[in-house]
Structure 1
Amino acid sequence: MAMQTPQRPGKVRVLIIDDSALVRQVLSEILSQDPGIEVVGTASDPLIARDKIKQLEPDVLTLDVEMPRMDGLTFLQNLMRLRPMPVVMVSSLTEAGAQVTLDALALGAVDFVTKPRLDVERGLNNYAGELCERVRNAARARVARLQPASAAAAAQATPIKYRTTDRLIAIGASTGGTEAIRVLLEQMPADAPATVITQHIPAAFSKPFAERLDRHSKMTVVQAEDDMPLLAGHAYVAPGGLHLRVQRSGARWRCRLGEDDPVRRHRPSVDALFESVAQAAGANASAALLTGMGDDGARGLLALRKAGAATMVQDEASSVVWGMPGAAYTLGAAQQVLPLAEIAGALLISTNVGGT
């Protein structure tokens, strides 16, 4: 795909493409310290990058995989087809041997550097020498144009609409919730976004509950386990007696279980789940608070709304008990109040199912 060729005179001009402001800043500082490299600009997503490539004419791009508006692999394919140039992938997904790395290299990326999963600033500085070397080496590569046949073959091997956990659905319920959740999940397609569920339920019943939901849903429904990755087409039910939280790990999300103190007198707690989703996913999430007694989940739903997530509650007429959803409505946490039959569709619309 790439052939070595003499580098043009002068410093290597680099454009950094990453949705994280911190990563853009750290990469700029690292690369700018190299006397042979000049950072000519940064871009927070591929659409901005497209315009800056025309304006700045960089020699090399550094490119993340998961970004808003267009994922890195789709952008890379378009770039190599229309304006081929050296690209170094810098992402927590691009690890040696990982399928996404092979996809990126097949599409024309010259090299890759793994973005640290924890303490990104410190980790990237530890990779400073390696990163600069790979960027300088990439500048010496002549990148061949991606031919239609090659693009078709790559698309056939792995769809370019690379499914990641960039959308997340969160559901909370209590009294009447076991049936409400069943009705909701029955309406979900097999490729729905990863879905996390907290239902107030005793420990002995949570696994059979998840198994029952699995029989009634096109999605794969399981009882959550600690450190389990969140995948599209899967729903994860909080085990009875344990809090379920979502934690970001690099560009992915994982389940975290905890035996810490009850929240709003409950463990699992809907507030604990919703607040973690607000922190880990923010505007990439949508959430529904269903029938239930008390007020657990109301403050968490408000945190989600403030974080930019789409929020909704089940209406009083279709709820067994309008305690939890009513409390959320009173707090101003809900953007929509919907009958149960309409909530699945609203969650799917809010998460833009089907990709870009």
Structure 2
Amino acid sequence: MIPRLRAIASRWTTAVPVLGVVLLACTWGRELPGGVVALVTVVLAGAVLAAVHHAEVIAHRVGEPFGSLVLAVAVTIIEVALIVTLMADGGDKSSTLARDTVFAAVMITCNGIVGLCLLTAALRHRVAVFNPEGTGAALATVATLATLSLVLPTFTTSKPGPEFSTSQLTFAALASLVLYGLFVATQTVRHRDYFLPVTKEGEVRDADDHAEVPSARTAQISLGLLALALVGVVGLAKGVSPTIESGVESAGLPHAVVGVIIALLVLLPETIAAVRAARRDRVQTSLNLALGSAMASIGLTIPAVAIASVWLTGPLVLGLSSTHMVLLLLTVGVSTLTVVPGRATLLQGGVHLVLFAAYLELAMNP
């Protein structure tokens, strides 16, 4: 029975990414009627699940923390392409899209995904256990990147408005790349053991579930299908974005909600993969995914929009409002208190989820 279920899963996780890319090619740049939007939404959901499946295959083959890094970087690279494309198509009304999407990614990962994973692990295993050295390093990098890229533009005076001057934007882009590169080197080479799942006694856990490691050929096929699935996810998300924008406008919500919805769609694969890891008591893997995605979102988006600003018309607004700066400060403070002990309970998970709910409420009712 189990081999049969695996064969069925293998077939649909192979077919859906291909179907998503074909549907994307047929709908790209066109106005979509309601029926097609519904079809795109269904395929989009399937592509998300397929991406999670193939990411887990790759992660099992290469091990942690490389597996988390593959999914985070792959999603973020395509997310950056989506942001730049939407900015190029949107004109002045998209001047804040990069800021809104990146900040949404930070709030979703650092509060939504982290809170959900801590809650899941604590419910199943009483206490969620992780490595404070690795998680603390990731949190410090995220906090620094977010402050340099999203907070400082509100206070600089070289250019009017919450914008960077050309030299300031260049510095922020280079600093983002350097810090992200240093973190990846630390995570994968010099201090890899800081980012491996641990037991309640603080010892590194054994291989996940003692399952058979996929072959190199299987992992390579999954890598290709993961790329197809993510292209489908982000491309189809762009296809339904006009529907999202019109729905947001008709509901009388701020335009920033569009960035929130896009970030939620794009981060679905990481969310599902992180919660699955938390259910298996591998909370460090969940935190690698969450904080790694936040870091990649800032570290790759800011350099990309800095380059794109050369040919994009209109302003590039990066500075956060005072309300969002308070939320970011509270997130960093609470996350620090969560990380330091190396273990968390239901309370910490609940606190992060309440912060995420507050962010969603203020995004819809600023």
Same fold (TM over 0.5): no
Larger Rg: 1
Higher-helix-fraction structure? 2
Using CA pairs below 8 Å that are at least 6 residues apart, which structure has the higher relative contact order? Answer: 2
Normalising by structure 1, we get a TM-score of 0.24
Give TM-score, length-normalised by structure 2. Answer: 0.24
